[in-house]
Structures are given as structure tokens and as C-alpha cells.
Amino acid sequence: MNIDSIKNGYVIDHIKPGKSLEIYEYLNLGNLDTQVAIIKNAKSKKTGKKDIIKIDELLDINIDILGYLDPNITINKIQNDKIVEKFHPQLPERLINIVKCKNPRCITSIEQNLPQICELTDRKNAIYRCKYCEEKVQKPE
């Protein structure tokens, strides 16, 4: 299967197989006019299979969230057909409206229009806690 290479944009590589649609949703890629390719179950030397997302434009996307969703992801920034930057996303200090606090005693369970804010309290172990009730939030599988 052939997918055109991109001139200017991002290649989000080494996505855990099956996670690409979730990442597509989190990055709101469905709202873009630009070309986006999702490649599922591509061959990988390292892991056997992987998903890849290609975005055919250098957009201002919130790549921090990727560090939370899958720390093994690689992001390739492409300019004029060349990889100009290659990096792993870092864990963001804050997640806003990404994960919902599941503590039934938390104020987020009843207060309307309250942003769901989670803060990184332990970078080493990638632990986030709800800003309001301080309960640990579960990472999506």
C-alpha cells in the first residue's frame, strides 16, 4: 500500500497498534481541511506492528498530549521533504479536558462547566492527579 510522502507536515510514528484513531480524536484532526492519513498495523522492525499518522501541513498541534497517551511515539517534523526534527513528546505539566476524574466524591462530578484539570505530580512514574480532589487519574489503556 502506498501513501504519498509529505512535503511539509508531521509524521507521528511508532504509535501503539490500534491507538491511532484515539490520537486522531485527541488532536482534533477530524476538524482539519488538510490531508491526514492514518496507517494502521504498519510493519515495524522494533515492535512487529505500529500505527502511523501523517499530517500534510505544519500545524500548531498540541503534541504534548501524545506524551501522556503513548510515551513511545516519535514525531517527525518535515519541511521541504526532509525530516528537520525528530523527537519524543514530553509529559505535559497539565492535562485540560483530556481525562475525566472518576472519583465520585470529586466536585467535577456535579459542578457544571468546570474544566477537568489533571496535574503531573510524579514525572518519573508518569502520575497525574485531579487538580481538585488530588485523586490519581487512570491512564487510558
Provide, rounded to whole angstroms, the least separation between the CB of residue 122 and other proteins. Answer: 7
Q: Rg of the chain's alpha carbons, rounded to an integer? A: 17
Binding range to other proteins, per CB under 8 A, among 54-62, 67-75, 84-92, 127-135: 127-135
**CB closer to other proteins, 62 vs 103:** 103
Q: What is the closest distance, in whole angstroms, from the C-beta atom of residue 128 to other proteins in the complex?
A: 12
Q: Are strands 36-44 and 82-87 parallel, antiparallel or unpaired?
A: unpaired
Using the rule CB under 8 A, give the single segment among 21-29, 39-47, 82-90, 124-132 that binds other proteins.
Answer: 124-132
Contact 66, 137 (CB under 8 A): no
Instruction: Select 43 or 105, whichever has its Cβ closest to other proteins.
Output: 105
Q: How far apart are CA 39 and CA 18, in angstroms?
A: 10
Cell numbers 498495523 correspond to 41
Contact set for other proteins, span 94-123 (CB under 8 A): 103, 105-114, 121-122
CA atoms within 13 A on the CB side of 130: 21
Rounded to whole angstroms, the Cα distance separating 131 from 50 reads: 33
Minimum CB distance to other proteins smaller for 27 or for 99: 99
Residues of this chain that interact with other proteins (CB under 8 A) are: 103, 105-114, 121-122, 129-136
